[in-house]
A and B are shown apart, each in its own frame.
Chain A
């Protein structure tokens, strides 16, 4: 079933507001909360206007006074425009502000680079104390909103715009900070975050199985704190790790995975993501994902090419090669 993660967030938050009077919902005129939602939220909802720095500052002030604000803006405006307020007012003070960033990755579609966020994960995951999550579907969004009640520090949640498909019902429950293992295989690890990349990796694993290549698929929805243990356990037996994300190739999930493996368990890592340019193609999210080849076929090609190269260079046994 397809459902927009941003709407899942909104619909999960509304009943929580009633049960938790310390929660607030601060908006920057994003339109996510329609009149009836705002009415349902009562005085715990405030539309502060189109002013993202102010939004983060007000949230920080309220959080320092014991409130727990959810703030609504687009990922592009949170991660770039309001970054200093997030860094100084929220992260520096370790305050429990929940930054609900819609239109993440390519979700803004035809609206273009002003509204797309291909840098937000890199930017957010360097901030000390910031928890960074990318729910892959509506169910995970609901789960993370609920789990945030037990989180002391700041949280960045990358959400989408339009409905995106759900993960298979067999997926284990999503838990902040724990990589979700969606499939086991001994040869390669496919790690992804976000709706389309995770589904692409699942589809790629199926195709690879047909070629006799076993792939573990990790939904690494939490970029910070990264589930190092889960990643290492999956990567140790594998000869290759491929990451896929709706993000520029620098600093996002691929960066986080590569940093960790380089230090803890050197493994070849291929980082698949958006090319080093601003989007110049017009179309919706699905079209852009296909156009920039963030697809199962791309993952399969990358894996097969890499394994062929490894085989030709005699690197059939990674452990032997490393030692």
Chain B
């Protein structure tokens, strides 16, 4: 079990649980939010921010830092929760999500400390990641760049433009994570535009591939810590996840994509998360 530096005894599971709890609260605000994809990413975000990424909330502009890009920008609520937990801004600020006067827009913006680039239109993050990884190479920095992609997002052609470029440039400090929850807005990816065999696709593009359980934050952290897995190749971790993981009444359903929780649904969600936490 990975132990956090920030809070002795804290576990990645506990961080992921807090991320989910914040997301539920934000999705009960006036605008609602993209709960499903934030929940499927919660363990990935916990692993990245609390074990893998070399980032310091006190020095968010440190040129030597690792970069993280949420290419599936609609999971902003998950990112904001992770950044607040990490200390980039106060957890209390999360209550402003989507409200006038807040910095917390529905898709990540650079006004929010810790957000590297604005995302939201799918298919942008991997090319940006190539740019960051290249810049690090030119500056002889050994930082790494991590890009979290949605699985539906892989239908965007620009992802594969960047996949080709990353392999061609041998950007082995670039690590992609695919949140493979199997669902996009209106249904299953495999019913809309099949993405399998996903690992073979990436491998054939010249990437080192690992296909793993996306809800085991310690396992995720171990894999991500170890990247690059093959010298000269960018790495992609296909994280098998469940959309809405953690909420029995939404898990595995494309209805979890965007939700605006009523006070009653919010209370139910909070109870469900609490039960999950206490029963393990």
CB distance from B99 to the nearest CB of A (A): 22
- Within A7-66, which residues are at the interface with B (CB < 8 Å)? 24, 43, 46, 48-49, 51, 53-54, 56-66
Query: Across the interface, do B165 and A48 meet the contact criterion of CB distance under 8 Å?
Result: yes
Complex CA–CA separation, A89 to B123 (angstroms): 11
Cβ of B39 within 8 Å of any chain A Cβ, yes or no, is no
Complex CA–CA separation, A93 to B116 (angstroms): 10
Q: List the A side residues contacting B132 at CB < 8 Å.
A: 61-62, 64-65
- Within B107-126, which residues are at the interface with A (CB < 8 Å)? 110, 116-118, 120-121, 123-124, 126
Query: Across the interface, do A88 and B131 meet the contact criterion of CB distance under 8 Å?
Result: no
CB distance from A39 to the nearest CB of B (A): 18
Cβ of A92 within 8 Å of any chain B Cβ, yes or no, is yes
- Within A61-79, which residues are at the interface with B (CB < 8 Å)? 61-67
Task: Determine, out of B78-86, B133-141, B191-199, B214-222, the stretch whose residues face the partner at the interface.
Answer: B133-141
- Return the CB mask of A77-115 against B: 1 if under 8 Å, else 0: 000000011001100110000000000000000000000
Complex CA–CA separation, A312 to B123 (angstroms): 59
Query: Across the interface, do A89 and B128 meet the contact criterion of CB distance under 8 Å?
Result: yes
Known contacts A53-B158, A60-B117, A89-B124: A65-B131 contact under CB 8 Å: yes
Query: Across the interface, do A49 and B164 meet the contact criterion of CB distance under 8 Å?
Result: yes
- Within B136-177, which residues are at the interface with A (CB < 8 Å)? 136, 138-139, 157-158, 161-162, 164-165, 168-169
The count of chain B contact residues (Cβ–Cβ below 8 Å) is 30
Complex CA–CA separation, A93 to B139 (angstroms): 21
Query: Across the interface, do B117 and A64 meet the contact criterion of CB distance under 8 Å?
Result: yes
Query: Across the interface, do B117 and A51 meet the contact criterion of CB distance under 8 Å?
Result: no
The count of chain A contact residues (Cβ–Cβ below 8 Å) is 26
CB distance from A172 to the nearest CB of B (A): 38
Q: Interface on chain B toward A: helix, strand, loop, or mixed SS?
A: helix
Q: List the A side residues contacting B124 at CB < 8 Å.
A: 57, 84-85, 88-89
Q: List the A side residues contacting B120 at CB < 8 Å.
A: 88
Q: List the A side residues contacting B157 at CB < 8 Å.
A: 53
CB-contact partner of B130 in A58, A85, A92, under 8 A: A58
Q: List the B side residues contacting A93 at CB < 8 Å.
A: 110, 117-118
Cβ of B36 within 8 Å of any chain A Cβ, yes or no, is no
Q: List the B side residues contacting A61 at CB < 8 Å.
A: 117, 127-135
CB-contact partner of A53 in B127, B136, B139, under 8 A: B127
Q: List the B side residues contacting A54 at CB < 8 Å.
A: 127, 130, 158, 161-162, 164-165
Query: Across the interface, do B136 and A57 meet the contact criterion of CB distance under 8 Å?
Result: no
Query: Across the interface, do A67 and B135 meet the contact criterion of CB distance under 8 Å?
Result: yes
Q: Which of B110, B123, B138, B162 has the most CB of A within 10 A?
A: B138
Query: Across the interface, do B118 and A92 meet the contact criterion of CB distance under 8 Å?
Result: yes
Query: Across the interface, do B138 and A67 meet the contact criterion of CB distance under 8 Å?
Result: yes
Cβ of B9 within 8 Å of any chain A Cβ, yes or no, is no
Cβ of B63 within 8 Å of any chain A Cβ, yes or no, is yes
Q: List the B side residues contacting A58 at CB < 8 Å.
A: 127-128, 130-131, 134, 162, 165
Query: Across the interface, do B63 and A57 meet the contact criterion of CB distance under 8 Å?
Result: no
Q: List the B side residues contacting A60 at CB < 8 Å.
A: 117, 127-128, 131
Query: Across the interface, do A57 and B118 meet the contact criterion of CB distance under 8 Å?
Result: no
CB distance from A84 to the nearest CB of B (A): 6
Q: List the B side residues contacting A56 at CB < 8 Å.
A: 127
Q: List the B side residues contacting A67 at CB < 8 Å.
A: 135, 138
Q: List the B side residues contacting A64 at CB < 8 Å.
A: 116-117, 128, 131-132, 135
Complex CA–CA separation, A85 to B126 (angstroms): 12
Q: List the A side residues contacting B133 at CB < 8 Å.
A: 61
Residue positions of A touching B, CB distance < 8 A = 24, 43, 46, 48-49, 51, 53-54, 56-67, 84-85, 88-89, 92-93
30 A-B pairs within 8 Å (CB atoms) are namely: A51-B161, A51-B164, A53-B158, A54-B158, A54-B165, A57-B158, A58-B127, A58-B130, A58-B134, A60-B128, A60-B131, A61-B130, A61-B135, A62-B132, A62-B138, A64-B135, A65-B63, A65-B131, A65-B132, A65-B136, A65-B139, A67-B138, A84-B124, A88-B118, A88-B120, A88-B121, A89-B124, A89-B128, A92-B118, A93-B118
Besides A53-B157, A62-B134, A66-B135, 6 new A-B residue pairs in contact (Cβ under 8 A), listed by A number: A24-B138, A49-B161, A58-B128, A65-B131, A85-B124, A85-B127
Residue positions of B touching A, CB distance < 8 A = 63, 110, 116-118, 120-121, 123-124, 126-136, 138-139, 157-158, 161-162, 164-165, 168-169
